[in-house]
């Protein structure tokens, strides 16, 4: 009688899991105490994740199977009462592009709206540019243009296209730091705008830190509206995401329709090398095996449903599926009728956006990779009342409490989103 080697491996892992963890991770550490102040979206590091949860931010679900927690819908948008009733003026145009994926789009939209608002200019809907040359899409291919225009109508005027008489070639191109302020706009951008009449802005990231700063004072309500109240998926793409979420919940009927989303991408793991940050129990990223052991030590059952952001299945993920058989990448749960349009296209932009919104709506989010994707998912989840974001770390004991690994953005309430919700 033949022996299934994968079953043998799974059995050994189950029996010797804790020993393996100690052997495998004894020299690997995860989090730094500070996020890096510069770099691209994948340079941001986790803060120390082993912190206590206070003020009843989250609560365990009674009688549930595993360490699942309640959603928290106590927060509401602060900005509606803070927005002024000033008439929207319009003198000249501000143009821009969305680039590098949805985690960047949020900041780029916010900064462009802030610039247009404080210049009294009309904002032109952006195009969307992928990482490959020639990979360009209309805003309406991914996002809901009418929703954005309607949501901002009391703040700025938004048009879908530039008038024919306005030439892009005559526009001054201005680099704008993310989280741009009214003072910065008046001092550095307004003189150029008055001289040129129309400008094109490009957001750059001197810092990818999304923590609140006590030096910033109150966040501009216009920025809050742009960041959390303007950008939604266009109806067809949103329906695809909803279908995939429902499919994942269908696999989790015995666990109350709950599932975990894990941001784990093989190409990024290979680039980052998951090096130590110098803080005990912390490093910059985790592989599939380490994530599986982390979740099992927290008490998630073997029949837990897991969604991975990895584009296609890779053999390195097999060990995760051995421990959690209901582990899926998007091609396994994608609506068949939409695959040719969204999954089999040459552009990865659709897939990145789908990953972002599924990770925002999952019951638990686990960022196996540090980066701006993680930071902006946290902001989105705060807005949606879904605080269970578990930052991986070495668990030296035989088991751990999920509440010890809640993202510091949430446990310390220091994410920028907490300036916009109250």
DSSP one-letter string for 57-111: S--BPTT-SSS-B-------BSGGGTS--PPPP--SEEE-EEES-HHHHHHHHHH
Fold of 235-419: Rossmann fold (3.40.50)
Average pLDDT over residues 268-288: 73
Give the residues across from 284 on adjacent strands.
none
Determine which helix (DSSP H) or strand (DSSP E) holds 145, and give its type and residue range: helix 145-151
List the chain domain ranges. 93-230, 235-419
Read off the pLDDT of residues 242-258 as tens digits, 9 standing for 90 and up.
999 999 999 998 889 99
Question: What would the mean pLDDT of 87-99 be, rounded to a whole number?
Answer: 86
Contacts for 115-119 with beta carbons within 8 Å, 24 or more apart? Answer: 115/176, 115/180, 115/185, 115/189, 115/199, 115/201, 116/156, 117/155, 117/156, 117/222, 118/182, 118/185, 118/186, 118/190, 119/91, 119/92, 119/94, 119/185, 119/189, 119/190, 119/193
| Bigger pLDDT: 134 vs 157 | 157
pLDDT at 43: 42
Query: Are the beta carbons of 290 and 25 closer than 8 angstroms?
Result: yes
With a pLDDT cut of 70, the percent of the chain lying above it is 78
Residues pairing with 128 in the sheet: 98, 137
CB 178 within 8 A of CB 206: yes
Q: Which residue has the higher pLDDT, 414 or 345?
A: 414
Identify whether the C-beta of residue 308 lies closer than 8 Å to the C-beta of residue 292: no
Whether the predicted pLDDT of 206 surpasses 80: yes
φ/ψ (deg, to 5) at 95: -115, 160
Match 């004991």 to its residue by tokens: 397
Q: Which phi and psi (to 5°) does residue 232 adopt? A: -135, 155
pLDDT digits (tens, 9 = 90+) for 368-394: 988 899 999 999 999 999 999 999 988
Residues 6+ positions from 293 with CB-CB distance below 8 Å: 17, 20, 21, 24, 323
User: Do residues 140 and 231 lie in contact, with contact meaning Cβ atoms separated by under 8 Å?
Assistant: no
Rg of the chain over CA atoms, in angstroms? 22
> Encoding tokens for residue 56?
């009843």
Q: How big is the chain, counted in residues?
A: 422
DSSP of 183-246: HHIIIIIHHHHHHHSEEEEEEE-S----B--TTT-SPPHHHHHHHHHS--B-HHHHHHHHHHHH
Q: 180: buried, middle or exposed (CB in 10 Å: 19+, 13-18, 0-12)? A: buried
Is pLDDT above 70 for 281?
A: no
> Do 285 and 272 form a contact (C-beta atoms < 8 A)?
yes
The reported pLDDT for the residue numbered 10 is 52
Q: Look-up: residue for tokens 């067809």?
A: 236
The pLDDT score that the predictor gives to residue 142 is 96
pLDDT value at residue 7: 55
End-to-end CA distance of the chain: 63
pLDDT for 416 beyond 90: yes
Q: What is the pLDDT of residue 2?
A: 54
Residue 165 burial by Cβ neighbours in a 10 Å radius (0-12, 13-18, 19+): exposed
The answer to whether 348 and 311 are in contact (CB under 8 A) is yes
With 0-12 CB in 10 A as exposed, 13-18 as middle and 19+ as buried, what is 27?
A: exposed
The confidence band for 44, taking pLDDT boundaries of 50, 70 and 90, is: very low
């Amino acid at each position: 009688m033949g022996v299934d080697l994968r079953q043998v491996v799974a059995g050994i892992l189950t029996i010797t899991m804790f020993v393996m963890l100690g052997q495998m991770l004894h020299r690997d550490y995860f989090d730094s105490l500070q996020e890096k102040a510069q770099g691209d979206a994948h340079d941001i590091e986790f803060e120390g994740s082993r912190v206590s949860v206070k003020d009843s931010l989250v609560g365990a679900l009674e009688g549930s199977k595993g360490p699942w927690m309640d959603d928290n819908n106590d927060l509401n948008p602060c900005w509606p009462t803070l927005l002024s009733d000033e008439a929207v003026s319009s003198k000249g145009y501000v143009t821009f592009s969305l680039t590098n994926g949805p985690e960047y789009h949020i900041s780029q939209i916010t900064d462009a709206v802030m610039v247009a608002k404080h210049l009294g200019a009309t904002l032109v809907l952006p195009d969307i540019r992928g990482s490959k040359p020639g990979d360009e899409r209309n805003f309406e291919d991914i996002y809901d243009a009418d929703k954005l225009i309607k949501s901002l109508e009391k703040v700025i005027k938004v048009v879908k296209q530039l008038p024919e008489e306005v030439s892009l070639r005559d526009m001054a191109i201005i680099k704008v730091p993310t989280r741009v302020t009214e003072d910065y706009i008046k001092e550095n951008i307004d003189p150029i705008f008055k001289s040129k009449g129309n400008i094109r802005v490009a957001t750059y990231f001197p810092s990818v830190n999304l923590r609140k700063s006590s030096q910033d004072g109150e966040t501009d309500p216009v920025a809050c509206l742009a960041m959390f109240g303007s950008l939604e998926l266009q109806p067809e793409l949103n329906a695809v995401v909803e279908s995939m979420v429902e499919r994942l919940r269908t696999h989790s009927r015995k666990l109350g329709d709950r599932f975990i989303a894990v941001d784990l991408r093989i190409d990024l793991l290979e680039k980052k090398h998951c090096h130590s940050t110098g803080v005990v129990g912390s490093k910059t990223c985790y592989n599939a095996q380490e994530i599986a052991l982390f979740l099992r030590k927290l008490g998630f059952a073997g029949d837990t449903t897991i969604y991975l952001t990895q584009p296609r299945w890779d053999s390195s993920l097999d060990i995760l599926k051995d421990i959690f058989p209901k582990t899926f990448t998007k091609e396994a749960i994608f609506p068949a009728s939409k695959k040719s349009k969204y999954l089999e296209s040459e552009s990865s932009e659709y897939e990145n956006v789908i990953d972002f919104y599924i990770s925002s709506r999952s019951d638990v989010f686990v960022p196996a990779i540090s980066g701006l994707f993680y930071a902006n998912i946290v902001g989105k989840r705060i807005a949606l009342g879904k605080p269970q974001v578990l930052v991986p770390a070495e668990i030296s004991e035989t088991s751990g409490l999920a509440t010890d690994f809640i993202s510091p953005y949430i446990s310390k309430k220091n994410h920028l989103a907490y300036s916009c919700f109250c």
